[in-house]
Structure 1
């Protein structure tokens, strides 16, 4: 056989189901990560490719969980190219199902499971399909599924990307530097979601936690209501909350005091900070410079 493949004794044409790029899973992951980084570094020149990466991550929970930390490292760039997409990605990752919604969903799923189990048990022995028999052989009764603690407020609790809590974590740092309006929108949404989760916990655990009562406050731009207790008030100091929410409030506080130091109008600043209706209220203390 003549030609460059004569020494190998094989036809270079790939067979059926044979890839011309024979990467294993690990190699393919590395190549994918490298290509993603190239496209994101080029976001200023080719924004559509970078936006597509973020949009795919927002719409795919499994993909988002795997690449979230990598995508957040490009916050300094994406906060200029597509700040809304950057905030949308953070919301998609950090805002989880609210506790009462989760409770109702699981309760409905259990009721449907028990109903189906009862129907299968009513079928005469020997007439079960393989799937029905497996259902009978592996009956499960969930224990402790309805237990919710005070950290179950609808914000992702365990994300090592936000350890240790700091005002310099992304995307909050870059959004406040390059698009503060989007940063405020992101933190309002996270805060309102967490506060709604806090209220739902009090509905679910009324006997232990009591009945929440809002604090009405009159502002020059109108009346707003605020919810919280000593634990929720501590969120604004970066304490007693899921770490991502702690980072969000630390970044907000740091930015707010920088606005004070710069001499920005006091009333307008407070209106922007209190733009949400359910933001927990509490005293703010001037933070130390973030490290």
Structure 2
């Protein structure tokens, strides 16, 4: 099944994502449907922990596709994103054929055997369905962003020694950004855009129940309410959806059925990871000081 035929309509997108454990709001379901139908990259922007990466994973599960992930970071270059040559094997080949000239061996040492595929090239050359996740693209340098423009425009790359490599099939592409820097208009122009925020209480409770089915309604609602309170505080790191789930599992493991003061004190380490955040939480949750 091609990406364009992945969903029959928006409601089908919401249903199938939910069946894979991703509870999409209306805007997310629309974006997933349109990205798949039009074959357009989807740029998902929002704070850390709101489910941007999980959306790509869910789309891969729905499509029964391989998830290929390019994790961006400061200093990532073309060799790590696209491809590089296995210089050690090439050097060994040249040493074995020491008497031959480089021109005589160039066609050999720059063959497929010596090519190391990185995520972008793997996605382009894949023979089966692929979801390409370009994660935290805002952490990459502008040079890598320029490389992405060629890939996202034509789904092809030029390798001087081998020629132009074109995609066998158009992968479904999801880019995520925490908005730590402004992305270029050229990159945004090539993408559909979705801004994600933390889910509303009902949807977050549904997410928690899907991942922790043994949790009772009272505890689930209390945890979600407490997390939403923490997110309104100026913390160094606001709790993510994954940490809401972790906190719920921690409370159950400790034998708590409700989120009282004792439960809060014993379990905050599963949801807040900075000492200053813990101090603020104690004050704002009415627990006094540590």
TM-score (normalizing by structure 1): 0.28
* Structure with greater strand share of residues: 2
TM-score (normalizing by structure 2): 0.28
Larger of the two Rg values belongs to structure: 1
